[in-house]
């Protein structure tokens, strides 16, 4: 069987969405066509607008179409705390815990085998960010994976000479787990139980 | 926490997709922005094109942007068989079986409580379609729900006076299905529909 060309093209395109296989893509395409064309057009527009206009916050490097993201623009957050994460989704996860300091978002983690050194993941910008501000504590909230740990160690070494408390979120996060998949309660414990980085 | 406005708008729009909840929509939005903007733009375009141009096949009423869908346009299918289904997704399911006749797609099933009578679901067009062709057998492949059964009965009555074989897809134990897991109604059908063992 073949769907008509535009329907096939829509099904193929839906499969770029993470977690969407062939069957779901078919169901999505036909349901949109049958029941929600207006919603589908709004989605098309939202995709276009976001892809064309969303860039990176100039301060924390999370995704944002404005020069400063909501977390950096907020005047009433704790300017003594900086939390370093691997991706914008991690900002979202940490926000769920009630954390109220600032952020810095790396471009992932160090991965020498993939040619990803400190510059590729934005560590020079991180250092500049820290030097330009007056943080008292830096929380290393990279993933608890081998690469995330190595990245945390690397950053801790770089910051060792500065007059800063450098902490690591507690291992309430399951080892090998990715931050964005952890439930909010576990993450709250991990944040509250953070300890000085050795 | 708030995402920036365009990201929030994208997340909300992704939730119109069947089976996509808040968490998946967040992950989808940020992954597209971080890793696949080109794919996302292609998806936006595919949605737009499909919503603007896909209509209904004039012969079988399945979704198609061409006047005739691939199944109706194909010259080498069996013109003596017509299979009646409730939705375009059912056409797809039946095609997987190797069925090689023609189709007619109703707009769902009869549902008097929702004000859906024979005209709303396209039965007058079905009758015209049958009268204009030379089918020998009509296969009622509406769902095995109460409404699907009622719809099949209604169509069978209407076609009773015509010189046609009218058949209904069999109900029974699904292949690979364990008897103890099958509901009683299905099992009754399976027993009543038993056939000589070869
Ligand atoms: Zn920011
Ligand atoms: Zn057709």
Q: Does B65 touch chain A (CB under 8 A)?
A: yes
pLDDT tens digits, A85-136: 999 989 988 988 889 999 999 999 999 999 999 999 999 999 999 999 999 9
How far does the centroid of ligand 1 lie from the alpha carbon of residue B150, in Å? 59
A-chain residues near B47 (CB < 8 A): 10, 13, 32, 40-41, 43-44, 47
Where residue B92 falls among pLDDT bands split at 50, 70, 90?
confident
Q: Which residue of B has its CA nearest to A44?
A: B44
- The neighbour count for residue A48, using CB atoms within 10 Å, is 18
Q: From the centroid of its chain, how far is CA A39?
A: 27
Residue in this structure with the two tokens 């992932």, named with its chain if needed: A108
Q: Which of residues 165-184 of A touch B (CB under 8 A)?
A: 180
Fold designation for A59-168:
Dna Topoisomerase Vi A Subunit; Chain: A, domain 2 (3.40.1360)
ipTM of predicted assembly, 2 dp: 0.82
Q: CATH 1.10.8.420 in chain A, residues?
A: 5-53
A97 touching chain B per CB within 8 A: no
**Residue A3: which pLDDT band, with cuts at 50, 70 and 90?**
confident
Q: CA B99, CA A121: separation in Å to the nearest integer?
A: 54
Q: pLDDT of A37-71, one tens digit each?
A: 999 999 999 999 999 999 999 999 999 999 999 99
Task: Quote the CA–CA distance of B82 and B165 in Å, as a whole number.
Answer: 10
**What pLDDT, on a 0 to 100 scale, did the predictor assign at position A1?**
54
- State mean pLDDT over B113-135: 95
SS3 state of residue B8: helix
CA distance, residue A160 to nearest chain B CA (Å) = 31
Contacts of A37 in chain B (CB under 8 A): 51
> What pLDDT, on a 0 to 100 scale, did the predictor assign at position A97?
86
Contacts of residues A66-71 at CB distance under 8 Å and 24 or more positions apart, as own/partner, are A66/B4, A69/B4, A70/B1, A70/B2, A70/B3, A70/B4, A71/A95, A71/A102, A71/A103, A71/B1
pLDDT score recorded for residue A175: 66
Tell me the CA–centroid distance for residue A166 and ligand 1, in Å. Answer: 20
Closest CA to B121 of B132, B129, B110: B110
Helix (H, G, I), strand (E, B) or coil at B103: strand
B62 touches B88 (CB < 8 A): yes
B36 lies within 8 A of chain A by CB: yes
Q: Do A1 and B70 contact (CB within 8 A), yes or no?
A: yes
Identify the helix (H) or strand (E) that includes residue B81.
Answer: strand B81-85
Across the interface, whether the CB atoms of A13 and B46 are under 8 A apart is answered yes
Contact at CB, B47 and A49, closer than 8 angstroms: no
What does the mean pLDDT of chain B come to? 91
Q: What is the mean pLDDT of residues B40-50?
A: 98
- Distance between CA A170 and CA A189 in Å, rounded? 8
φ and ψ of A121, to 5 deg: -100, 5
CA–CA distance, B59 with B91 (Å, rounded to integer): 14
Is residue B64 within 8 A of residue B56, CB to CB? The reply is yes
**Given this model, what pLDDT does residue A158 score?**
95
Question: What are the residues facing A104 on neighbouring strands?
Answer: A84
CATH for the stretch B5-53:
1.10.8.420
Average pLDDT of the segment spanning B153-162: 94
What residues of chain B lie within 8 A of the CB of A19, using their CB? 24, 27-28
Rg (Cα) of chain B, in Å, rounded? 22
Q: Which residues of A touch B50 (CB under 8 A)?
A: 6-7, 9-10, 29, 32-33, 40
Q: What is the pLDDT, as a whole number, of residue B74?
A: 95
Cα(B120) to ligand 1 centroid in Å equals: 53
pLDDT for position B133: 94
Asked whether the predicted pLDDT for residue B86 surpasses 80, the reply is: yes
Average pLDDT score over residue span A178-184: 77
A74 close contact with B: CB closer than 8 A: no
d(CA A139, CA A168): 6
Q: Do A65 and B6 touch (CB under 8 A)?
A: yes
A10 contacts chain B (CB < 8 A):
yes
Determine how many CB atoms are found less than 10 A away from the CB of residue B90: 20
* Residue A194 pLDDT greater than 70, yes or no: yes
What's this model's pTM, rounded to 2 decimal places? 0.80
| Cα separation values, A63 from A18, A59, A141, B35, B189, Å | 18, 11, 18, 12, 57
Average pLDDT of the segment spanning B21-42: 94
pLDDT for B198 equals: 61
Query: What does the longest C-alpha to C-alpha distance in chain A come to?
Result: 68
Chain B neighbors of A45, CB-CB under 8 A: 13, 44
What is the structure's pLDDT at B1? 54
Mutate to test the interface with B, among A27, A54, A99, A102 (most CBs of B within 10 A): A54
CB A90 within 8 A of CB A105: yes
Using the mean position of ligand 2's atoms as its centre, give its distance from the Cα of residue B105 in Å. 8
Label residue B89 by pLDDT band (50, 70, 90).
confident
Q: What is the arithmetic mean of pLDDT over B103-112?
A: 94
* B164 within 8 A of B157, measured Cβ to Cβ: no
Structure tokens at B79: 């013109």
Per-residue pLDDT for B48 more than 90?
Answer: yes
Sequential DSSP letters for A89-156: HHHHHHHTTT--SEEEE-SS--BGGGTB-TTTTTHHHHHHHHHHS--SEEEE---SSHHHHHHHHHHH
Is residue A16 scored above 70 in pLDDT? yes
CA of B63 to the centre of ligand 2 (A): 8
Asked whether the predicted pLDDT for residue B117 surpasses 70, the reply is yes
pLDDT at B5 over 80: yes
Residues on chain B touching A39 (C-beta within 8 angstroms): 13, 16
Is it the case that residue A78 has pLDDT exceeding 80?
Answer: yes
pLDDT over threshold 80, residue B158: yes
């Amino acid at each position: 069987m073949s769907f008509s060309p535009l329907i096939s093209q829509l099904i193929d395109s839906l499969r770029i969405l993470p977690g969407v296989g062939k069957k779901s893509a078919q169901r999505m395409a036909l349901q949109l066509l049958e029941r929600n064309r207006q919603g589908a057009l709004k989605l098309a527009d939202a995709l276009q607008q976001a892809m064309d206009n969303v860039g990176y916050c100039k301060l924390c490097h999370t995704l944002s179409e404005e020069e400063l993201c909501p977390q950096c623009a907020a005047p009433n957050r704790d300017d003594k705390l900086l939390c370093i994460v691997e991706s914008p989704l991690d900002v979202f996860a940490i926000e769920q815990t009630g954390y109220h300091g600032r952020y810095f978002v790396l471009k992932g983690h160090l991965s020498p085998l993939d040619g990803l050194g400190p510059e590729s993941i934005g560590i020079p910008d991180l250092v500049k960010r820290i030097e330009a501000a007056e943080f008292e504590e830096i929380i290393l909230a990279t993933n608890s994976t081998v690469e995330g740990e190595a990245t945390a160690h690397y950053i801790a070494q770089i910051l060792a000479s500065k007059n800063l408390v450098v902490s690591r979120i507690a291992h309430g996060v399951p080892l090998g787990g990715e931050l964005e998949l952890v439930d909010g309660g576990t993450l709250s414990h991990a944040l509250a139980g953070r300890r000085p980085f050795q």
